Structure 1
Amino acid sequence: MTPCRLCGSTDMTGVVDLGATPPCERVLTAGQLDEPEVTYPLRLRVCTSCWLAQIPPLISPEETFTDYAYFSSYSTSWVEHARAFVAGLDLKPGSFVVEVASNDGYLLRHVVERGVRCLGVEPSVNVGAAARERGVPTVTAFLTPESARAIVREHGRADLVVANNVYAHIPDVIGFTEGLRTLVADDGMVSVEVQHLLTLIERNQYDTIYHEHFQYYTVASARRALASGGLAVVDVELLETHGGSIRLWARPSEYGSAPSPRVADVLALEKAAGLHEVSGYAEFAGRVARVRRDLLRFLIDAAESGRTVVGYGAPGKGNTLLNHCGVRPDLLAYTVDRNPYKHGRFTPGARIPILPTGRIAADRPDYVLVLPWNLREELVEQLSYVHDWGGRLVFPIPTLEVV
């Protein structure tokens, strides 16, 4: 068994086995449909020494992120989340902000608007190019201790380093964290947002388990991970983004201060949920199996009664769900997405066509299966027109719900 990537222990226990799936963002062109598709085991385990939940590093970040299909700015609510975050920062004219995994400039564009110097560090060539077109200075690089030193030599250390939804995406946790420490000034701050394992377990959000996500954090395991690279957690916020996330604030360990009471409060929540012991994970696999049975039963019943079902969105989490449940085009005719990069392509594994969003209004299906359920509030409003012909929205997570 692969040892824990954080503490090196081999004391690992299984949480859930989702079978074998292809990488979730590797959408297929029509020309690739006759080609073989590589799949990898998708098993979540937790280390009983440091409590870091993780999957084996079967694919490398270079395979996924060199040319990437996800553009953050296509989510209206996510851009607003970033805008509100920047608006709340105490930035001065001389401040310097660096965002790691800055995607298409969805966050740093708000820093640029405030006239504050910033830099994005984005490994995906195509996504980073979109950021530069928006006027966001961006370098193409994976964050390592070496690339961090090169950035510091050219640009200096940052007063604030932001790492949103990337801390789960890197198999070298310690090296990446050392890179964060190198980027930040001694009196600076690091902000890390990542999905909270507590809500993943409690809300049955198993579709966020996929090969891009190498690990899943509690505050307890995140605090240990950040300490491995020289950063000390001083505060934490609970967020509703991505179904439930944590925003960790950290300072260089040698200059850190005592953590706020909120850190102890969240640690207590995790302990009460059993996530600092094996018992907290025992029932998860059974609840995951129920989602699969309920969704398949719904789709089969709809097909046999002559009702049409299409999807909305082609997110990575949706591909975990579709492949785990064995959904194919006979049960889900197609899905739509706002991202034109995906139009005319097919979801990995399930090979469901991805079309422009206008197809829903044109075809007037009976049901729309919403795959990015984490954007529920935003999408219920966007898809309100479905009710004009009596159509209904279907949310598969945490339990099947027809709206």
Structure 2
Amino acid sequence: MTRCRLCGSEAMASVVDLGATPPCESFLAADQLDQPEPAYPLHLRVCTDCWLTQIPPLITPEETFKEYAYFSSYSTSWVEHARTFVADAVQRVGLGPDAFVVEVASNDGYLLRHVVDRGIRCLGIEPSVNVGAAARDAGVPTLTEFLDPATGSAVRAEHGPADLVVANNVYAHIPDVVGFTQGLRALVADDGWVSIEVQHLLTLIEENQYDTIYHEHFQYYTVASAARALASGGLTLVDVELLPTHGGSIRLWARPAEVAGEPTNGVSPARAEPRARGRVADVLDREKAAGLQELSGYTEFSARVATVRRDLLRFLIEAAERGETVVGYGAPGKGNTLLNHCGIRPDLLPYTVDRNPYKHGRFTPGTRIPILSPEQIAADKPDYVLVLPWNLRAELVEQLSFVHDWGGRLVFPIPELSIVEAKS
């Protein structure tokens, strides 16, 4: 990578190099195990001009998302998060019976189904054929497309401008930041709202969440860099919320620059509600205090990543030497970054399980660990269960309470190795 994809600068500095890994959602069928498997460099860098952190765009979204293994509805807590968001957004934006809501990267309709239930007109834009079909089967109108300015303009011409455009956990997934943002602006009404949820780089670094670095995520945002990205497409940041999702996310509220007012202090609009201005300023201050607008905030991250790797490998090796069994729970994309970076194979983790039937009988990319149904854990009664979707800790401690019945314990690798009793 020689140039920043947002500002075009060549001033790029290394943050952490995780080697080369396969795409994190490229789960293998049994008949693929003897075939070559491509791996791509996973090297996070930061632009020291605009401070957008990013990886090289070595894999196109078309390669990743046409057939996708992740279905949002399999996470109970995520569906509840979406329901709460819709209820709050209806009040905040004032969505009435004549409103129109568009969600970009709408997955299997996990969020828009709550909009449908309220009788509000909506449309999902989802590039993955299989999950988009699941959304339509659930009664959520869904267009199978990637968002760019042309798609945004076409949807607006056919359906009218959107009062609210939602883009949750997709703003990191697109290499053309400017074009995607222009697509959002094309969709939204001139007096409308855009809501974006994306992982917060501040917590990623503070909490050692390096496993969320993978090829689907082309960039990682602070509020400051996100505001610059939004401005590139004609949108202005007017408010920010800190969320616990995905280990720590930000919800960015933006409006067309014409109605948001002129920015002050670089990001916060003068005509925004004062409390919102204060929230933006508070988070910017936190980011600055953490050194994320200078190189010093990034230099120690690589060493802390190495500690996570060594601690997890030490635990697995020592458990194996004691004759204790460790199996995995979950097969998320982040888990595959962790497994590949640590070099974990079936000799240390004989299998993992997942609630998504799509993954059953498949194998994790690179590490070739079998993925089974969750019932296998109760059948085998392992000594430890390594929880790969650590961001769902509260939900999974409850779901895996049965592990306590035989004295089993749960292991969480991030932000540091911790071994806990399953909830009894």
TM-score normalised by the chain length of structure 1:
0.99
1:60-209 → structure 2 map (5 Å cutoff):
60-89=60-89, 90=91, 91-209=95-213
TM-superposed CA distance for 1:392, in Å, is: 0.3
Please, which of 310, 314, 319 is the counterpart of residue 302 of structure 1? 319
TM-superposed CA distance for 1:353, in Å, is: 0.2
Q: State the alpha-carbon separation in 2 of the partners of residues 342 and 125 from structure 1.
A: 17
Partner of 1:232: 236
**3-state SS in 2 of match to 1:163:** strand
TM-superposed CA distance for 1:2, in Å, is: 2.5
**3-state SS in 1 of match to 2:43:** strand
TM-superposed CA distance for 1:341, in Å, is: 0.3
1:29-40 → structure 2 map (5 Å cutoff):
29-40=29-40
Contact 1:14 1:43 in 2 (8 A): yes
Q: State the alpha-carbon separation in 2 of the partners of residues 2 and 247 from structure 1.
A: 30
Partner of 2:17: 17
Q: State the alpha-carbon separation in 1 of the partners of residues 378 and 107 from structure 2.
A: 30
Please, which of 355, 361, 364 is the counterpart of residue 372 of structure 2? 355
Partner of 1:311: 328
Compare 36-45 and 254-263 and name the one that shifted more: 254-263
Partner of 2:341: 324
Contact 1:270 1:276 in 2 (8 A): yes
Please, which runs of 5 or more residues in structure 2 have no aligned partner?
Answer: 262-268
* 1:5-35: CA deviation from partner (whole Å, max 9, x where unpaired): 0000000100000010000000000000000
Contact 1:310 1:368 in 2 (8 A): yes
* 1:109-161: CA deviation from partner (whole Å, max 9, x where unpaired): 00000000000000000000000011000000000101111111111110000
The amino acid of 2:222's aligned partner reads T
1:212 partnered with 2:212: no
Q: State the alpha-carbon separation in 1 of the partners of residues 105 and 2 from structure 2.
A: 27
Q: State the alpha-carbon separation in 2 of the partners of residues 363 and 25 from structure 1.
A: 27
Q: State the alpha-carbon separation in 2 of the partners of residues 11 and 200 from structure 1.
A: 22
* 1:255-274: CA deviation from partner (whole Å, max 9, x where unpaired): 11424211111100000000
**3-state SS in 2 of match to 1:131:** helix
Compare 167-176 and 143-152 and name the one that shifted more: 143-152
TM-superposed CA distance for 1:401, in Å, is: 0.3
Please, which of 322, 345, 353 is the counterpart of residue 336 of structure 1? 353
- Taking only the aligned residue pairs, the percentage that are identical comes to 79
Partner of 1:373: 390
Please, which runs of 5 or more residues in structure 1 have no aligned partner?
Answer: none
Please, which of 253, 256, 272 is the counterpart of residue 260 of structure 2? 256
The amino acid of 2:132's aligned partner reads G
Partner of 2:8: 8
The amino acid of 1:71's aligned partner reads F
TM-superposed CA distance for 1:248, in Å, is: 0.3
Q: State the alpha-carbon separation in 2 of the partners of residues 319 and 39 from structure 1.
A: 12
Q: State the alpha-carbon separation in 1 of the partners of residues 259 and 60 from structure 2.
A: 34
Q: State the alpha-carbon separation in 1 of the partners of residues 80 and 241 from structure 2.
A: 17
The amino acid of 1:341's aligned partner reads Y
Contact 1:310 1:335 in 2 (8 A): yes
Partner of 2:265: none
* 1:343-386: CA deviation from partner (whole Å, max 9, x where unpaired): 00000000100000000000000000000000000000000100
Q: State the alpha-carbon separation in 1 of the partners of residues 142 and 401 from structure 2.
A: 37
The amino acid of 1:56's aligned partner reads P
How many residues of Structure 1 are paired with residues of Structure 2 in the alignment? 403
Q: State the alpha-carbon separation in 1 of the partners of residues 180 and 320 from structure 2.
A: 47
The amino acid of 1:383's aligned partner reads L
RMSD: 0.6
Q: State the alpha-carbon separation in 2 of the partners of residues 334 and 371 from structure 1.
A: 12
Partner of 1:242: 246
Q: State the alpha-carbon separation in 2 of the partners of residues 313 and 103 from structure 1.
A: 19
* 1:152-179: CA deviation from partner (whole Å, max 9, x where unpaired): 1111110000000000000000000000
* 1:16-67: CA deviation from partner (whole Å, max 9, x where unpaired): 0001000000000000000000000000000000000000000000000000
**3-state SS in 2 of match to 1:88:** helix
Q: State the alpha-carbon separation in 1 of the partners of residues 16 and 50 from structure 2.
A: 18
TM-superposed CA distance for 1:224, in Å, is: 0.1
Contact 1:2 1:56 in 2 (8 A): no
1:50 partnered with 2:19: no
Compare 149-158 and 228-237 and name the one that shifted more: 149-158
**3-state SS in 1 of match to 2:158:** helix
1:265-284 → structure 2 map (5 Å cutoff):
265-284=282-301
